[in-house]
Structure 1
Amino acid sequence: MVTGETSTIPLGGRPAPTRDTSRHLPAIVLACTVHKPGRDPAGNSITARKDMRHRNYPTGWLAADHAYNAALPDSFHIPVRDLGYRPIWDYRIDQLGIQGSHAGTLLVDGTWYCPNLPQPLTTATTDLLTEKIDKHTWRARASYRLRPKAAPDHRGARGMLCPAAGSHPTVACPVKRRSLGRDPRLPLIDGTPTLAGHSEVCRRESLTFTQDIGIRHWQELDHGLAPWVHHYFRLRNRAEHFNGYAKDREAVERSRTRRIRGITAQSLLLSFQIAHAGHRKLASWLDTLQTNGLPARRRPSNRHKPKNPHDRTPSGYLPDTTPGA
């Protein structure tokens, strides 16, 4: 199933809200396919998203679980980006660490880093999860990441700046002398060349990464940092919440609610169940709003106070900065 937000509320006969609340709409299912569990999840996801594209739904961030970033590039990663989506991933513990390289740069936990990234920091997330390092040490490698130079072009190619290049370097490197002496707090790079000389990224200010380079693991947002936390967990929680909601309210997982054989009939009946679950959610949400000067019919659900995503690490929140700690 593909969940998303919509600004259309097909609740005929109900008064429309007096203020713009489109950004508060609940997540509902916009497309679905029926298939055996675990059978080509990537291909079925692309089928559903092509249908959404045909209906002119907007695209944006796409949060996917481990079943999708392990798919073959031709079956998922390339098509989903061609449709206009921007994937963000989580990784299994055996997928963490160095995932690839290009022109000397290192792909670590989905992000491109300087080739002189200290070796202990290449396994920082794994070491954090196994409690070999603390949460503050895990954050130390952010200075070594390559920075976007400009938005991707129409073919998906993107320019990335060396961390020692540009007007605001994040490391001090003797190979790029303009980065030296700017800030004594910047990490100092060991610029000793190898027998083959300096890598390409060290000889240049920026590199161009085409769409296919590191496509199975690369993502735009730094894994585990605040922007990734905000988008990934918001989208994944909405999807899982709707799954539970449809099971509780419409019993979609119980075959006895659809006493008919055949994939076509099952798909049709399941679509009605999912659509009715979405209608329930929208109706419940509308009851919490003040419409046409009338008081809300019910109180909104109680929610826990959200924690600051800047304080989160893959093993939990920083205990000394978490609200209420």
Structure 2
Amino acid sequence: MRRRNYPTGWLAADRAYNAALPETFHIPVRDLGYRPIWDYRIDQLGIQGSHAGALLIDGTWYCPNLPPPLTTATADLLTKKIDKHTWRARVDARASYRLRPKAAPDHRGARRMLCLAAGTHPTVACPVKRRSLGRDPRLPLIDVTPAPAGHPEVCRRESLAFTRDIGIRHWQELDHGLAPWVHHYFWLRNRVEHFNGYAKDHEAIEHSRTRRIRGIAAQSLLLSFQIAHANHRKLAAWLDTLQTNGLPARRRPSNRHKLKNPHDWTPSGYLPDTAPGA
């Protein structure tokens, strides 16, 4: 991809791809420069992992002292325990508890995240980091949970390193469910489903009779040829509309059904038959 200077950017996939092995999918796509956007099954929502005390919740790293109602906000919405207005209020409230990136990822994909109470512009007031106290009365006050082993590492340090394999199956840059995520995810997913429908209509990829051969390897190889041919068909249709050889550009024919004139047409059976000459 990079050798051919192909652009990379956001990458959306369905919910099955979260279960893929990191070494065969998650790490390679990130190494290519793609930025995955995930949706989750209902059993994957909430706490998805942890690192040095930090909690991975709905694809984002949060403070270990995040209030429980904010932890299960999206799962509670999908199970109809709360309404959408309550969900939005809780998601907005937990934004203050989110770990912040301190710098861009290094060449190995590792990134350093800043504690939300650290630095000169904390987003919460935390008794563990006393410099964050008294700065702004509007900041939420962290209710620190006492533990026999003391505070977790993320609370004892100003920042923490996250290697690229930590939480790689679920972590994403955009907050799950909010407007930027909705815009990018559904735009990409709609394009994928559009091409799936196109390939089914023109190449019949869903019918096994178009690939009369045994074995998943052979089936996958023939399917790749069908997908390539569908892509070639779309490119040829696009090139056919361009202005070439002195001919003007033309519009592609529409696949939409022609609209019927409502003045002289009614659905079949809607009006009773009338006698001739009536």
| Ranges in structure 2 where 5+ consecutive residues have no aligned partner | 257-278
Matched residue, 2:181: 228
CA distance in 2, matches of 1:293, 1:190: 72
Matched residue, 1:98: 47
Matched residue, 1:250: 203
TM score, norm. by length of structure 1: 0.65
Question: How large is the RMSD of aligned CA atoms in angstroms?
Answer: 3.3
Q: 2:68 aligns with which of 88, 102, 119?
A: 119
Q: 1:107 aligns with which of 45, 53, 56?
A: 56
**Amino acid paired to 1:156:** G
Residue 247 of structure 1: how far off its partner (Å) = 0.9
Match runs of 1:122-271 below 5 Å: 122-133=71-82, 134-139=86-91, 140-191=93-144, 193-257=146-210, 270-271=223-224
Which range moved further: 269-278 or 247-256? 269-278
**Amino acid paired to 1:207:** L
Residues 214 and 262 from structure 1, CA distance in 2 versus in 1: closer, same or farther, beyond 3 angstroms? closer
CA distance in 2, matches of 1:77, 1:186: 36
Q: 2:9 aligns with which of 34, 40, 60?
A: 60
CA distance in 2, matches of 1:196, 1:256: 63
Q: CA deviation digits over 1:26-55, x for unaligned, max 9?
A: xxxxxxxxxxxxxxxxxxxxxxxxxx5675
Residues 290 and 171 from structure 1, CA distance in 2 versus in 1: closer, same or farther, beyond 3 angstroms? farther
**Amino acid paired to 1:130:** T
Matched residue, 1:33: none
Give the 3-state SS of the residue equivalent to 1:221 in structure 2: coil
Asked if structure 2 preserves the Cα contact closer than 8 Å seen for 1:128 and 1:138, the reply is no
| Count of residue pairs the alignment pairs up | 251
Give the 3-state SS of the residue equivalent to 1:135 in structure 2: helix
CA distance in 1, matches of 2:205, 2:251: 28
CA distance in 2, matches of 1:190, 1:265: 58
Give the 3-state SS of the residue equivalent to 2:251 in structure 1: coil
Q: CA deviation digits over 1:212-238, x for unaligned, max 9?
A: 212222222222222322222222221
**Amino acid paired to 1:216:** R
Match runs of 1:28-39 below 5 Å: none
Residues 182 and 295 from structure 1, CA distance in 2 versus in 1: closer, same or farther, beyond 3 angstroms? farther
**Amino acid paired to 1:297:** R
Asked if structure 1 preserves the Cα contact closer than 8 Å seen for 2:61 and 2:99, the reply is yes
Q: Give the number of the structure whose alpha-carbon radius of gyration is greater.
A: 2
CA distance in 2, matches of 1:230, 1:286: 29
Asked if structure 1 preserves the Cα contact closer than 8 Å seen for 2:45 and 2:57, the reply is yes
Residue 143 of structure 1: how far off its partner (Å) = 1.4
**Amino acid paired to 1:119:** P
CA distance in 2, matches of 1:57, 1:252: 27
CA distance in 2, matches of 1:261, 1:193: 61
CA distance in 2, matches of 1:54, 1:155: 19
Residue 118 of structure 1: how far off its partner (Å) = 0.4
Greater RCO, CA 8 A, separation 6+: 1
Asked if structure 2 preserves the Cα contact closer than 8 Å seen for 1:165 and 1:179, the reply is yes
TM score, norm. by length of structure 2: 0.75
Residues 161 and 72 from structure 1, CA distance in 2 versus in 1: closer, same or farther, beyond 3 angstroms? same
Asked if structure 1 preserves the Cα contact closer than 8 Å seen for 2:73 and 2:87, the reply is no
**Amino acid paired to 2:121:** H
CA distance in 1, matches of 2:216, 2:88: 52
